[in-house]
Amino acid sequence: MRALLLLVSVQALAPNRRTFLVATAGGAASASASTDGAVREISLGEAVKAIITDGNPDWVRAVVQAGFIYRGVAEASPTLRRDPYDLYSPATYNSARAATYFRSLDAALDKIKAPGPRARTAHLAVANAEAAAQWGTAASIWPLGSISYAWGPTAFWPTKDRAITVAESLRVDEGLADCIRDGREVLYACDASIAVPRSLEPSLRAGLGLL
């Protein structure tokens, strides 16, 4: 754990090292050119290397302090991901109302000139593996490079709150460890991320020095 915290401190003071990300993401893009987004299966060792080398320092620090953040994915092995943005799609929640809500949330955020991500170019993750497993294989998510994130409600959807109410209450780019401790969802935007299935969590923790 001390080793990873030291690496996070070093990352915060130095430019991100992009060699692994650029090389691997390039391969993912060419291999998946005919699909929406790009997902490439990688080894656990590659995943650990990418997290240590290019993992966002703020995200990694919060995870070290409070626990993992998850998404449900289709793959059962570690992946480098550039997922398509889908919160505007009625198919995501099987609900036209959900798609309308996320559009309204973005409109509200734009209206108040709020900083942070927008649903149209972001994804949702949750600090609850069981909740993530409703969408597929629960996998911890590790954004690479720069990110922006926002959190507030336990879940962005379904909700009874008005979009403007949520927009005005979001915490942006701060307090991620609190979000994790509360088991809430986080809206985040990044260029690429690593996903590691929960079944590999003991090995991932060992590789990152988190045991």
Q: What is d(CA 120, CA 102) in angstroms, rounded to the nearest whole number? A: 8
What are the distances in angstroms from CA 112 to CA 54, 92, 159? 32, 27, 21
65, 10, 27: which is closest to 192 by C-alpha? 27
> pLDDT tens for residues 17-40?
443 444 444 443 333 333 367 999
Query: Across residues 175-201, what is the average pLDDT?
Result: 98
In tens, the pLDDT along 101-158 reads 999 999 999 999 999 999 999 999 999 999 999 999 999 999 999 999 999 999 999 9
Q: What's residue 4's pLDDT? A: 53
